[in-house]
Amino acid sequence: MTTPTATSHANVVTEQLTAAGRAIEHDSFSIIDREVGPHTYAPEQWPVVRRMIHANADFEFNGLTRFHPDAVGAALRAILAHSTRLVADVEMICVGLSQPRLRHFGLGTHQFISDADVIERAQAEGTTRAVQAMRKAQRLGLLDGAIVGIGNAPTALIEVVRLIREEGARPALVLGMPVGFVSAAESKALMAEVTEVPWIVIDGRKGGSTLVVAALHALLGLAEAREREAQAA
């Protein structure tokens, strides 16, 4: 079965809840398609990039966004398992995601950035809370098979790369999109060198939690389209 090329208008769970909201969103996507100019993204990748552009009204994500060859396929397999978890670097990602869409796919969310033990370890070891949050996720066995979303902390992404290379962590997909001026570009370049795990990254300093949420919502839309195609077959 081929990967859906866009979120089908037959989708229900991953669409806006009102006709007016759906019309605005679809019109926005049409404007982006008209104005974006040429791009080299595969049909299954473009809906992700388009929704990221939609989230920020920034056409530079056409070009800045890079995909591991198996990124979308791995994401859909994980989502359609209906038992996958999301491990995020910050609470903002978990709050920004649509709860009905998460529930439909049985996608639980985890973030540990403000946990007392995470703060204590960061202070004791001279690291960041983001580093310790990823280490806690690994200790709890949450990283393997998970979708990992990093939108705020470059140190979290660097630590995820270390956990993959040195401790054998195997997330289903890493969304490496931290924003910032210190180590942000470098952390994403480091993730893009990883061959063991699929990833989607944004080159350079741009990024943010809203982009992780946008990418995940696009992937959930593709997953619902795949699900509906299977049901119709």
Please report which confidence band the pLDDT of residue 40 belongs to, taking 50, 70 and 90 as the band edges. Answer: very high
> Which of these, 176, 187, 164, 175, lies nearest to 219 by C-alpha position?
175
pLDDT tens string 53-112: 999 999 999 999 999 999 999 999 999 999 999 999 999 999 999 999 999 999 999 999
| pLDDT at 2 (0 to 100) | 38
| pLDDT at 3 (0 to 100) | 39
Contact predicate 3/43, CB 8 Å = yes
Q: Which residues neighbour 1 within 8 Å (Cβ) at sequence distance 6 or greater?
A: 226, 229, 230, 233
Question: How many other C-beta atoms can be found within 10 angstroms of the C-beta atom of residue 160?
Answer: 30
Burial of 203 (0-12, 13-18, 19+ CB in 10 A): middle
β-strand partners of 147: 86, 173
The amino acid sitting at 16 is Q
Q: Of these residues, 54, 68, 104, 217, which one is catalytic?
A: 54
Q: Does domain 19-232 have CATH number 3.40.50.10230?
A: yes
Q: Is residue 54 annotated as part of the catalytic site, yes or no? A: yes
pLDDT tens string 26-37: 889 899 999 998
| pLDDT at 11 (0 to 100) | 82
| pLDDT at 84 (0 to 100) | 95
User: In whole angstroms, what is the distance from residue 41 CA to residue 72 CA?
Assistant: 12
**Pairing, β 108-110 against β 199-202:** unpaired
User: In whole angstroms, what is the distance from residue 231 CA to residue 108 CA?
Assistant: 24
pLDDT tens string 169-215: 999 999 999 999 999 999 999 999 999 999 999 999 999 999 999 99
Spell out the domain ranges in the chain.
Answer: 19-232
